[in-house]
Chains A and B, each alone.
Chain A
Amino acid sequence: MSLFNVEVMKAEFKNIWSSWLLEISIFIPLFSCLIYNPHLFGIFPYEDVGMAIQEMVAARTISVFHYALTFMIVICSAVSAISFARDYEKGLLQTLFSLPLSRTEIFLSKMLSIVLVSSIIVSISLTITLMLDFYFAISYLLKPILIGFLMAFAPLIFYFSLSAFIALIIRKTVASTVISIVLSYVLQASPPALSDINYYMPDKIPIFVLCKLLGYRSTPSFHSGYGLPSTLLANAPSIELLLILLVIYSIGMMAVTYTYFTKKMELAG
């Protein structure tokens, strides 16, 4: 039994490509990354200029990634809710179930296509912003962009699954989209900025992981912009703990929605 179906994925990509939501999905994260323009300069008493550039790039990546991911999560939630609820309302889901396709294939193909496109858009925002700010040091940008792309996957899977679950329960396009957008925004905005709760939020964990992977040190020697307070970034838990939490959140939420979709969902309801 295969996990993904190419035709379902193609149809989902076609839906995203032809929808006006794609333009909005590109505009909002990119605008939020570019409009936040802190005073990016620094003085570094290092022997190696590479270390100084890396620190500057890391600080900018963290703030840009935070903004891009925050807005992309909201858009991804909306797209996921629309995808499931609209397919149900149009009777497309019923047609898909009647075809020789397993529900696992349908769910995972939809998830992969939406999450992949969302991660690519986060990377596009990250790439454009970093290239505009650091065109004099292009060779230092590949690593943060690649890690940013990979780090966006887990929170997007979590919010995709949450919105898909809401859409499958409500089964009304407008209602489930509105609820998904509000819920994804409230979940992200609810913890106070300096609270330790941020360490355990699925949308904030990738930022702390990114911070550790890029070797960002919260030194007072330069002035830059952060998506999160620098004290919070400096005192983050170990990378292993953060990654385990991230996997538990995304796989856990995905398992709940997947189980409902494949085992419990009745089309007659």
Chain B
Amino acid sequence: MMKRIGRISLIIGLTILLTSLINANLEPSIKYGFGYPTSTYLIITFPVNDVNFTIGALPGSGDVYKGNITLQLLDDAGEIITEVEGLTPLHFRINLYRRGVYMIRIMKTGNVALSIPISIEIKRVNIEYDKVYAGGIISVLSAIILLFSHFITPKFHKKIIGS
């Protein structure tokens, strides 16, 4: 029973580890343009580095909204991660190493159109380390279970039977 559980969890751990390593270097960059109201949620389900925001311009559209804006990037607890202020088109970049929910809040302080276009370029990290850690921990734990069931349990059984 222990051997079987150990072997199955070892397969699960190694599969997580293997797929994380295979997926490394997979299409590392994505570019998107959005037209959105002044407050919006950004949900990221993979760790990223180098998120490149451009506020007030959509790539290729030629439309640029002029005005002074303040942009805040908040985490799910409502804490401000960064705040930038300036005239559109406004550029800024940040590293977000944690999967999660982020909130973009834009405050208009000048004559800016109601819906402000946002262009985001996201660069994925090459290796999703959190998945590698998860796969590694599961694999090590199941290897311990397997070793335990191979060496310790039979000795224990012998001892009981012998006594």
Q: Which of A4-52 contact B (CB under 8 A)?
A: 17, 22-23, 26-27, 30-31, 34-35, 37, 39-46, 49, 52
> Does the CB pair A34–B15 fall under 8 Å?
yes
Give B4's nearest chain A residue, CB to CB.
A17
A223 contact set on B, CB distance < 8 A: 30, 32
Query: Is B137 in contact with chain A by the CB < 8 A criterion?
Result: no
Total A-B pairs in contact (CB under 8 Å)?
99
Q: Which of B117-131 contact A (CB under 8 A)?
A: 118, 120, 122, 124, 130-131
Could you tell me the distance in whole angstroms from the C-beta of A67 to the nearest C-beta in chain B? 12
Bitwise interface map of A from 115 to 135 toward B, beta carbon under 8 Å scored 1, else 0: 000000000100010001111
A35–B134 alpha-carbon span in the complex (Å): 15
Could you tell me the distance in whole angstroms from the C-beta of A105 to the nearest C-beta in chain B? 27
B40 contact set on A, CB distance < 8 A: 43-45
A44 contact set on B, CB distance < 8 A: 40-41, 43
B134 contact set on A, CB distance < 8 A: 132
B120 contact set on A, CB distance < 8 A: 43
A17–B8 alpha-carbon span in the complex (Å): 11
Could you tell me the distance in whole angstroms from the C-beta of B154 to the nearest C-beta in chain A? 19
> Does the CB pair B45–A134 fall under 8 Å?
yes
Give A41's nearest chain B residue, CB to CB.
B44
Bitwise interface map of B from 20 to 45 toward A, beta carbon under 8 Å scored 1, else 0: 10110011001010101101111111
> Does the CB pair B43–A34 fall under 8 Å?
no
Interface size on A, residues (CB 8 A): 34
Known: A26-B8, A52-B43, A136-B101. A39 touches B30 (CB 8 A): yes
Known: A30-B15, A49-B101. A39 touches B27 (CB 8 A): yes
> Does the CB pair B36–A41 fall under 8 Å?
no
> Does the CB pair B101–A34 fall under 8 Å?
no
B16 contact set on A, CB distance < 8 A: 34, 128, 132
> Does the CB pair A43–B34 fall under 8 Å?
yes
Query: Is B92 in contact with chain A by the CB < 8 A criterion?
Result: no
Q: Which of B23-80 contact A (CB under 8 A)?
A: 23, 26-27, 30, 32, 34, 36-37, 39-46, 48, 76
Could you tell me the distance in whole angstroms from the C-beta of A127 to the nearest C-beta in chain B? 11
Q: Residues of A with Cβ closer than 8 Å to B?
A: 17, 22-23, 26-27, 30-31, 34-35, 37, 39-46, 49, 52-53, 56, 60, 124, 128, 132-137, 221-223
Q: Residues of B with Cβ closer than 8 Å to A?
A: 4, 7-8, 11-12, 15-16, 18-20, 22-23, 26-27, 30, 32, 34, 36-37, 39-46, 48, 76, 98-101, 103-104, 118, 120, 122, 124, 130-131, 134
- Given A26-B11, A41-B43, A42-B42, 20 extra CB contacts under 8 A: A17-B4, A27-B11, A30-B12, A31-B18, A35-B19, A37-B23, A39-B46, A41-B30, A41-B45, A43-B42, A44-B40, A44-B41, A45-B37, A45-B39, A49-B76, A132-B16, A133-B46, A135-B130, A136-B99, A221-B34
